[in-house]
Structure 1
Amino acid sequence: MPGIDEDPRLVRRFSDTLPHAVVADCTDTETLRQLGVHELSSAVVGIGTDVEASILVTSNLLEAGVPNIWAKAISRRHGRVLERLGAHHVVLPEYERGERVAHLVTGRMLDFIRFDDDYALVKTVAPDRVVGVPPAGSQVRTRYGVTVVGIKRPGENFAHATARTVVGRGDVIIVTGGTRAVEAFANMG
């Protein structure tokens, strides 16, 4: 995949890493046509400071028929515009990193990953309410709306949790479910 940017220093920096690195203006449809972007199977729009340029480049790539476009957004509003435009994947790295750090700092979560607007995965130390019984016995799904999918005992590797896995004190567990449900479960203490 070629790398295209207007900044010659950036292009030089990545010229050893990428098969083709070109100094060009991607907001110009004729330039993109000449560079053959219509033949690409995927493209990444990593413009993070100029919202207008990001939208124009994404639009140009869509118009060129690139079937798999990943676009970076610098705000949720920018992300919504890119989604409405037709970008196949919109990434909000600053927002997502900030959300993840906020979850880790404010509660008992060891890790937090949001998969959709209302679905997340959380790594946390098992709350006392589920210690000593398997997930089915503690009724985590019906009581708390989460599913225990993994477990790590001290000194061991992570393993899949089953209906018969007994959760011990100090075990680290991975739970999935609605975002609010996994947040509440992880913060039970």
Structure 2
Amino acid sequence: MHNMFRRFESEIEHRGEIIVIGLGRFGSSLSRSLVDMGHEVLGVDLDPANVQAHTGVLTHVAEADTTNDQTLRQLGVADARTVAVCIGADVEASVLTTVAVSDLGVPNIWAKAMTEPHGRILSRVGAHNVVFPEAEMGTRVAHLITGRMLEYIALDDDFVLVELAAPRSLVGVPLGESNLRRDHQVTIVCHKPDSGLFTHTDRDTVLSAADLVVVAGRREAVDAFSRSNSTGAD
């Protein structure tokens, strides 16, 4: 399985307006979330309907062909610190836009890839970070659809966080006495009591049957732990 998220350069602290190019499902969700977080966002798309849908939602919107470097200069991309290229099915436009943004010297370029080869090309032409949202969602849903997991987050190819109902084998036992790491090679990093808020766990934490827990560990170990506890195995 390929990495669903790749970071190629050192982390760059963002300042100023964020430019999101491509306002399809992913770009729309990203740009709206950034606005909700308090950032100014310029959304750019070639489709006038997408632009109209984000007017008044994003800080600024523009209808433009972003494969043209002169157009990007007119939009102020050359002065931007962070640009996210979220163009979907049009791989050629995605690559050409990333090249143009890179040629303008933007120091923090994120790009959405549809496939592994697409991602490799994006990284070679200037993207500092590449994400694979479709692949990530497919993997996440595959784990959630079985009903054992309530949430699933892959931090890399082989380390995950999952949210589960408290395993019956751990209810009523201080976590320090459960031998969880020795027997299952996983760690419960936090828990949410019934009608409470998530809080960290320690050796003295005692889970109840109504608790939710967040388990961290290698993918194979977490999957095995989830399977064994879904049937009430100790």
Fold-level similarity (TM above 0.5)? yes
Query: Residue 110 of structure 1 aligns to which amino acid in structure 2?
Result: L
Cα offset for 1:106? 2.0
Which of 128, 134, 137 in structure 1 is aligned with 2:168?
A: 128
> 1:32/1:169 Cα in 2 relative to 1: closer, same or farther (>3 Å)?
same
> 1:156/1:13 Cα in 2 relative to 1: closer, same or farther (>3 Å)?
closer
Distance 2:203 2:127 in 1: 40
Distance 2:170 2:125 in 1: 46
Large movers: runs of 4+ above 3 Å:
83-86
Alignment of 1:101 onto 2:141: yes
What TM-score do you get using the length of structure 2 for normalisation? 0.72
Query: Residue 22 of structure 1 aligns to which amino acid in structure 2?
Result: A
Query: Residue 183 of structure 2 aligns to which amino acid in structure 1?
Result: R
Alignment of 1:100-179 (within 5 A): 100-179=140-219
* 2:56 alignment partner, SS class: coil
Cα offset for 1:79? 2.7
Query: Residue 170 of structure 2 aligns to which amino acid in structure 1?
Result: V
Cα offset for 1:147? 1.1
Superposed CA deviations along residues 3-60 of structure 1, whole A, max 9, x for unmatched, are 2222223223323233433222111122222332110111121111111111111121
> 1:16/1:178 Cα in 2 relative to 1: closer, same or farther (>3 Å)?
same
Query: Residue 133 of structure 1 aligns to which amino acid in structure 2?
Result: V
Distance 2:89 2:158 in 1: 28
Distance 2:112 2:159 in 1: 21
Q: Which runs of 5+ in 2 are unaligned?
A: 1-40, 230-234
Alignment of 1:35 onto 2:35: no
Which of 228, 231, 234 in structure 2 is aligned with 1:188?
A: 228
Q: Which runs of 5+ in 1 are unaligned?
A: none
Cα offset for 1:103? 0.4
Distance 1:35 1:158 in 2: 43
Query: Residue 39 of structure 1 aligns to which amino acid in structure 2?
Result: D
What TM-score do you get using the length of structure 1 for normalisation? 0.88
Work out the percentage of aligned pairs sharing the same amino acid: 47
* 1:154 alignment partner, SS class: coil
> 1:137/1:50 Cα in 2 relative to 1: closer, same or farther (>3 Å)?
same
Which of 99, 113, 120 in structure 2 is aligned with 1:80?
A: 120
Which of 28, 34, 58 in structure 2 is aligned with 1:18?
A: 58
Cα offset for 1:107? 4.7
Structure 1 vs Structure 2 CA RMSD: 2.0
Query: Residue 103 of structure 1 aligns to which amino acid in structure 2?
Result: H
